[in-house]
Amino acid sequence: MLSPVTELTPRAAPQMLALLDRDHSILAFNQRVFDWACRNDVPLLERLRYLCIVSSNLDEFFEVRAEPHLSAKQGHDQEGIYTAASFDRLSAAIHELVHRQYALYNEALMPAFEKQGIKIVAHGERNAAQRRWVKQYFESEVKPLLIPVGLDPSHPFPQVANKSLNFIVRLVGHDAFGRENDVAIVKVPRVLPRVIRLPDKLCGKRTLFISLSSIIRAHLTELFPGREVSQFSQFRVTRHSDLAVDEEDVKNLRTALRQGLQHRHYGQAVRLEVSAGCSDYLAGFLLKQFGLPEGALYRVHGPVNLVRLGQLVDLVDEPRLRFPPYKASYPGRLGTDQSIFEQLKRGDVIIHQPYESFDGVLAFLREAVNDPQVLAIKQTIYRTGSNSELMELLREAVRRGKEVTVVLELKARFDEEVNINWAEQLESIGVQVVYGVVGLKTHAKMMLITRREGRHFKRYAHLSTGNYNPVTARFYTDISHLTADTALTADIEHVFIHLAGQSRLPRLNRLWLAPLQLHRKLLEKIESLGAAAAAGQPARIVAKMNALTDEALIRALIAAGKQGVKIDLIVRGACMLPAQVPGETDNIRVRSIIGRFLEHARVFYFRQGEAEELYLSSADWMNRNMLRRVELAWPVLDPLLRQRIVDECLVAGLHDSLDAWDLLPDGRYERARPPAGRPAIGAQNALMARYATRDSHDRL
């Protein structure tokens, strides 16, 4: 089980306070997610889902972050700071987390499921009728898709795709040609389900499942007639999968990326997972084949891919083992009986997702598509999913004769193929699709509607801290901002022209744009508050984000805290700023909230004396967001809306005593506790209750 304290390793910085190591901080975040899988107050299917999320996060960690560490053994990585010792510490921490995952799976979750009459039945536990059904399933559904490859000089080791399920087999005897080739590989196609439900007639009163790996394992010998299988193991290799395209040296970015996707599944190997019982001979054979050190080998007591166990969550129809359903309310300030455009003329609207529904954003776009007075729609797309009503609305807008421009980010990691497909579909019907600025990812989320009203044009806009994805909008916490503010919409128009035409950007009135001025503006704001505090004025910073790893911003916060600024940071994931270090960061508190929903909103609050400013943003405080992406931050000027965001996003998080973790001076995270005699309060639970019970006309 997860202990209440998880350790981070400091990163050395000469003559300055040592910052926390980014990779250990990422692992600590995953340990906090893992805690949800350990909690007995979480429904059983949801605990399994969190276990799968941790595995998915670790997959991405290896795919994106692990490549530099393979060279760390030689004392260098991309930042020149990793040593063999620090690499070994990181590897040990990952191995420990994986060990705890499988211990929880085997010793807690699977026994708990069995008590509920739900079980994944191993081969040795199946009765005769179940074995007959499994054999028939293997013969009809699995075996026709398997091609075992016996290795010899004319049958080299096959290409094994990233994160695919495979078997390695050691054989006794001679092959059909009298040779003694003793190793074979069986690749398992991804089209096969990893968990199969047994028919009810074979289950009694229980709900029983069979894993695909156990089906293949039970019938391996049938794939090698005339040979004896002496050793075998599942295995799975994780490969470096971050696409690298030299944008300056390609004529068509979309074509180059599509070509790169063909090779993503076969990048450099960085991790090897095998069954716990895999022989040293087979494990060594695989390590040598993939060119991996011993530390990259993970022996696991269970399925080599816990991520695919998420299928079990979807196959079990037991509402009592899930979170109670939550239905988001329609945004209270968006009445359904009148035009949204008319409502925005009276004032801005804030939508707090997922407590309020993303349907409000879709309604805004739908009204624009159907309104004959709307002449143009401009929008950025980073992640929207493969089936998106929003994209269908943009296509309908083109059919209705409107001018539609989409700034579509092709390099959104692991969404490249989906976005390339959308680009081709949109271009085919006449949408003006552009891919932003060479060398930068367009991560800003904005939509601009231009409408003819009498003899003039009027602009309406949507800005968001999160993606235009109706699916993730149901479980990511984000803020959507609808506005008709003249200065703000003019800024957005300038940004779209800048991205499409690459023209010089005029001076902006309201927006802070990365990489041009967002970083500088944040540093100036922090430094000005530090100066005010040093002069004796009350100064306060409360910032909520997903990651804090930009060293310049961290150093600025540390300096401001030393000058007397009271600083609270709500950082869900990686944070390199050590909090509450005596004499250094006494005025800085850092906490992380891991809840039912993924905390995703970026909110920055600054107060000097009685003057308050609040910015929403698409950007985390990371170097890449500040200097290598197109990002936005914008102010919320309406005092009532600003106070609502402060209450719901910041104050609620700072008082959370159920799902929050506090960063300690020595770099560890500790679960927040309620005051003595008081019940634990979770910010997300409180907001779900508020939006489920309040009438829409009461909401601001």
Number of C-beta neighbours around residue 255 at 10 A: 11
Residue 385's CB: how many other CB atoms inside 10 A?
17
Shortest CA distance to 699 belongs to which of 654, 648, 634?
A: 648
What would the two tokens of residue 208 be? 């029983």
Query: H or E stretch including 669?
Result: strand 669-671
Find the distance separating the first CA and the last CA of the chain, reported in whole Å.
Answer: 42
Do 348 and 483 meet the contact criterion of CB atoms below 8 Å apart? yes
Catalytic annotation present for 443: yes
* Stretch (H or E) spanning 37: helix 22-38
- CA neighbours closer than 13 Å in the CB half-sphere of residue 205: 2
Residue given tokens 């149901």 in the structure block: 474
586: three-class secondary structure by DSSP:
coil
Q: How far is CA 122 from the centre of its chain?
A: 33
Q: Which of 69, 240, 443, 519 is catalytic?
A: 443
With residues binned 3-state (H G I as helix, E B as strand, rest as coil), the percentages for the chain, rounded to 5, are: 40, 25, 35
Across-strand partners of 603? 544, 616
- 3-state SS assignment for residue 469: coil
Q: Find residue 482's DSSP bridge partners.
A: 349, 462
Cα 27–Cα 33–Cα 39 angle in degrees, nearest 5: 135
Determine contact, residues 334/363, Cβ cutoff 8 Å. Answer: yes
Residue among 543, 42, 132 nearest 322 (CA):
42
> CA 188 to CA 195: how far, in whole Å?
13
DSSP-derived 3-state class of residue 694 = coil
Distance CA 406, CA 436 (A): 10
Give how far the C-alpha of residue 94 lies from the chain's centroid of Cα atoms, to the nearest Å: 19
669 in Cβ contact with 5 (< 8 Å): yes
The full DSSP string for 53-64 is: HHHHHHHHHHHH
Residue 582 structure tokens: 């005596």
Find residue 149's DSSP bridge partners.
185
Token digits for 152? 């010899």
Residue 141, φ and ψ in degrees, nearest 5: -110, -25
Interhelix angle 416-428/389-399, rounded to 10 degrees, is: 20
* E-state strands within 203-334: 207-211, 228-239, 269-275, 297-300
- In the three-class reduction of DSSP (H, G, I as helix; E, B as strand; rest coil), residue 71 is classed as coil
Neighbouring-strand partners of residue 605 = 542, 614
CB atoms within 10 A of CB 507: 7
C-alpha distances out from residue 424 to 255, 409, 428, 429, Å: 11, 13, 6, 9
The DSSP result for 207-263, as a single string, is EEEEEHHHHHHHTGGGGSTT-EEEEEEEEEEEE-------GGG-S-HHHHHHHHHHH
* Contact in structure between 239 and 162 (CB atoms under 8 Å): yes
Other C-beta atoms closer than 10 Å to the C-beta of 173 total: 11
What angle separates helix 359-370 from helix 389-399, to the nearest 10 degrees? 10
Give catalytic residues, as residue numbers.
Answer: 443
